[in-house]
Every structure is written in structure tokens, then in C-alpha cells.
Structure 1
């Protein structure tokens, strides 16, 4: 799998792109990775900013809501070293004991006809975390590239900012928004992509409340439903 740090794709794409978010999208929320990460972020706020646990929780939530990522607020307002943050939060997660290979997910992705669509990862995590997760899931070889939130670049750009989607298009080698297809569990990220003309799918995992106003035209409970939403991209559909 290539990445922006290696060989960004700059030529016009001959295939549309199917972008996948990673966290709470390629693996279920029930793994509690998000909860573990939130705890580490709260601890980072408390330790590095000298805050009480309650104030750390409040500020973490405020920065996430305002910027899409807690780290954006930390860098913007407190001059925190983002790579130190990454080492003590994302890279400190004990993922090896939590995220396992998923044969069903691999089968779903293998059933996609990559002569018709390019598979690409689009995450707000840093590159080390993104690569670690897809490797643990056993699907890292199925994607042609990874667009990630580069903590080493200022300002930090992440979904749902329009510049993050523009960055993904450039790196994946696609010029037209109508050639972009996107799956994410975040309501805001799906709304942001849809505004730019991407065909966006909101994954609302089974058991979670359905939003009163849908984020986009497509809302699913399971990734398997992509077979019905985008049948043109699946080998089995073509053969049938």
C-alpha cells in the first residue's frame, strides 16, 4: 500500500475512487478502541496542560467539536508537539490485543472489482495508526493508498474540512467529485464529503441511534450493504 509520504498519485484517474474511513468503520465500535483513545486523550490534556480530570474532559470535547480533532486545538492553542501527542495517544493504544483479522471484511473488499474502482483509505489518524489498524485487520494489501492527517504539517488539516477531501482527491489521482465514493461512520465527515459532490455513505452501526436528519442519501448498518448501494463495483454483481 502506498501513501502520501511515498508516492502520491497525481495523474488523472481512469477509475473512480472508493474511499474508506478506518476507525469505527472498518472495525466495529464495540471493540472500544474509541473509548480507550478518549481516555488517553483526556489523560494527555490533564498531564500536559495541568488540568483537572473534569476540565480535561471538557476541553477535549470542545476541541473535537470545534476542529474535528482534539490535537488541532492542542497545537493551535497550546503549542503541543503533535508527534509527541501521537506517540502517547494513538501509537500507545494496545491494538494488537483488540483488533483481529476479519475474514468477512476481507471477502467483501476482495469482491470489489478493482479494474472498475480504486480502493483508498481516508483517515483523520496519523499514518502510523492507520497502517497498524489495516494490517491487524489483514486487509492492508487491498488498498492502493492512504490519505491521513499529517500531524507534522501546520496547519493540521482533517475531515470534515474541504481541504482534506481535496488532498485525498489529489493523492488518489481523481479530478472530478462525481468520481468519488466515500464510507465513514462520522456524521460530520459524511456531510462534508456530500457537500463537495461525493457519493457518501454514512455507516450507523447496529444498535446506535439513527440520526433524525440523514447525513446523506445512503445510510447503512453494515458494510455488506455496500453490495446493494454500489453494485457496479462488485464482481459478483457483474457476474450475476
Structure 2
């Protein structure tokens, strides 16, 4: 193990665009269905619905949080609709499964999606048995990353010491609260939406390929 990570006992992974490459564009399908949902529910043209969707994402953490706060949308209805997508673009990643299996300690998924969707993605990737648990948006009481309560709730739910934990995530802004409570942070830099500022002081490690990065630290 890389000496700088010798203290890590809890390996926490985001799901979308982190455990699979962004080139799969799975979230692109979800994004389009979010726009469809907003357009239909609020009676908007698609262009206006898209702008509102992104505004809610930026100011509430997720589109869903904005829809709940502003329109009282049922989260189960929303998540069921937007996650009804084709997953044939995902392929089994045996090297990633092998690398995760070699990590010392606990392995968890921490996602703003819901557990049924996460399980389908993990099964497609061959990672169905790789993680102890999935901490999803419902476990966060619908208050998503990057809200501080999401990270505190994760640590409380599993008895994690953040100082012995690493969090891997494709969205840089979601790493900042993790670093604030003592976690090591890994940014999977693949072009996902980022925060407006250029501050990257809360990022400890950066990679374009999560599998290759894990293999490197395990061989160090």
C-alpha cells in the first residue's frame, strides 16, 4: 500500500462517473429524463426545464432536492422515472473488482442516487459483492452531498472515523466537505460538472482512471 494511505481503513466510493468511465454517458440518459420530468410536471418547454433543472442542482445539491423544496415532488416517483434507463453501455470490470477486493478494511458506496438503481449499476459492473453497503439518498434523509449532514450521517451510520477514511468522487465540490471532517480525498477527474471556483486545496489525489489508480497504490 502507498505509505501515505497506510492509515486508511474505510474506502468510500461515489457511484456514477466514478466506478465506471464517464464515456459510458449513463448519467446523460438520467439527465435527459430529469429534464423530461421537470418539463412534464411543471408544464415547461424543454429548454426552460433544463435551465431550471440545472439551477436546482447548483443551489440545492441535486435536482430532486430542488423539486422537493420548491414543488413538493415525491422522491420515489422522481427517482423511479429518471433511473428507468438502459444499462447495456456498462461492462463488467473484473480488474476493478479485484483491486477493490484487495483494499484493507471496509468498502462502501456513497451516492445521491437510490439503492435499487445503485444495485443495478454494480451488478452490471461485476461489483455486486464488492461493497459492504450502499448509503443512498434515502439514508441521507433526502439531504444530498455536498451538504455536511450527508457526510456526518454516513460516518454515524457505519461508525466510521473520517480520519481513517478515503472518499473517491468525480465531482470536486463533493470532496470539500469530506476533507473538512478529515477524510483523504480522491478526485476522479473525468469532466463532470465542477464548482465555479478554482480552489482544489481539499483534493489529495487525482486520477482519470479509478482502476489504474487503485492498482498503483496497492503495488506501491
Fold-level similarity (TM above 0.5): yes
Partner Cα distance (1:130, 1:18) in 2 = 17
Partner of 2:110: 122
Give aligned pairs, total: 209
Partner of 2:3: none
Partner Cα distance (1:103, 1:188) in 2 = 29
Partner Cα distance (2:207, 2:167) in 1 = 12
1:94 aligns with 2:86: yes
CA RMSD of aligned residues (A): 2.3
Partner Cα distance (2:139, 2:45) in 1 = 26
Alignment of 1:147-226 (within 5 A): 147-150=135-138, 153=141, 156-174=142-160, 176-205=161-190, 212-214=198-200, 215-223=202-210, 224-226=212-214
Displacement after TM superposition at 1:221 (Å): 1.6
Aligned-partner SS, 2:182: coil
Contact 1:83–1:151, Cα closer than 8 Å, also in 2: no
Partner Cα distance (2:22, 2:120) in 1 = 17
Give the structure-1-normalised TM-score. 0.80
**CA separation of 1:44/1:205 partners in 2, compared to 1, >3 Å: closer, same or farther?**
same
1:141 aligns with 2:129: yes
Partner Cα distance (2:172, 2:155) in 1 = 20
Gaps of 5+ in 1: 1-14
Displacement after TM superposition at 1:66 (Å): 0.6
Give the structure-2-normalised TM-score. 0.87
Gaps of 5+ in 2: 1-7
Partner of 2:100: 109
Contact 2:170–2:189, Cα closer than 8 Å, also in 1: yes
Contact 2:15–2:110, Cα closer than 8 Å, also in 1: yes
4+ residue segments displaced more than 4 Å? 206-209
